[in-house]
Amino acid sequence: MKRLFMNPDPDADSKPLPWPQWVERHGRVFFLYARQQTRCESDAKDVLQEALAEAWRRSPDRSPDKAVVFATIRRRAIDLGRSMDRRQKRELAVGHPGEDWFYPDFSEGDTRETLAAALARLPADFREVLTLRIWGGLTFPAIAQLTGVPCATATSRYRYAIEHLREHLAELQP
Amino acid sequence: MKAPDDLESLLRSLTPNTLPEDLKARLAVEPSPAPSPREPAHRRMMIAGFSLAAAAALVLVVREHGAPPSSPARPTVTVLHRDSSLVATRKLGFVEKDGRVFRVEERHWRDEEEALCSSSPVSVRLHEDRREIIYQPVRFD
């Protein structure tokens, strides 16, 4: 155990939300993260349900902090992964989807699908930081604490992820 | 296809997909409050020790006052009152374990018990102080 100094979450809810509204507001992002942390859709659903319930119970006087929920999802996904044998993990790792991670926006043409596919191909560490930063809205210090790496590493992973995506999209340009 | 000149803005414009209907149904009901944790083993042992000590003390009291020799029935001990009260709390700091952050707090409890022996009007009151360390999960704000 080590002492930890937390950074403030600028997006923390000032007023507690009822459970249904809280799930409605943040459930999408949490599910996106859970899908990226697990090896199949059903695992993502299980992990998300358990993590949300755990975070909610531990925060009786206000809505749970997003960073805490992300950390809970991450811990439960890791625990679940450890509990599965290697053969099963290999089987489930095949064909893990990424194409429906985002809500369809037909005005954007194939942008959504292209980006989602590129995102799915990113190294997991890079994708995790990108997701927590872009859609989770976490600060780099918070991401660093959540993922257990120095802040500089989290920042670098984000930059590398953006650069990877940029190169991938540039290759697709006519 | 948009040019990737402002990729971060483009990424932010993507909205994570909605929850599947079956997951929505699973999340429709608010989780029930956390169940009260089972009393730890050391506390259960302490309560058992309390009862034993109370019984022993009552036996001594009975002997002191002299139980009627003609009475064949052995005296029974009845616990009249048992309570635990929080005397003080003290914040010790913060720790992190397995990716979770906890506020560490020390609580000072007083356990009290009052028992009565069936063969004597004398009641015995015992109390014992104990300290416990509590880990409370904290948020990042």
The model's pLDDT over A55-109, given as tens digits with 9 standing for 90+, comes to: 998 887 788 899 999 999 999 998 888 877 544 654 455 445 565 777 666 555 5
CB A165 within 8 A of CB B7: yes
Rounded to an integer, the average pLDDT of A142-168 is 92
Interchain CB contacts (distance < 8 Å): A and B: 144
- Residue A5 in domain: no
Alpha carbons B54 and A97: distance in angstroms, whole number: 65
Rounded to an integer, the average pLDDT of B24-47 is 71
**Greatest distance between any 2 Cα atoms in chain A:** 54
Question: Of the candidates A78, A103, A128, which is a domain's last residue?
Answer: A103
Number of compact structural domains in chain A: 2
pTM over 0.90: no
Question: Of the candidates A87, A103, A119, which is a domain's last residue?
Answer: A103
Is the pLDDT at A1 greater than 50? The verdict is: no
Rounded to an integer, the average pLDDT of A15-33 is 89
Rounded to an integer, the average pLDDT of B28-44 is 67
Question: Of the candidates A72, A103, A134, which is a domain's last residue?
Answer: A103
Residues A79 and A23 both lie in one domain: yes
Instruction: With cut-offs at 50, 70 and 90, classify the pLDDT of residue B2.
Output: very low
Per cent of chain A over pLDDT 90 is 44
- Residue A88 in domain: yes
- Residue A3 in domain: no
Instruction: With cut-offs at 50, 70 and 90, classify the pLDDT of residue A49.
Output: very high
State the residue range of the domain holding A80. 12-103
Residues A82 and A118 both lie in one domain: no
Residues A98 and A129 both lie in one domain: no
Mean pLDDT for all residues in chain A:
80
Residues A20 and A99 both lie in one domain: yes
Query: Does A169 sit within 8 Å of B140, measured CB to CB?
Result: no
CB B19 within 8 A of CB B25: no
The residue of chain A with its CA nearest to that of B136 is: A58
- Residue A119 in domain: yes
Residues 6+ apart with CB under 8 A from A143: A129, A132, A133, A154
Interface residue A173 vs chain B (CB under 8 A): yes
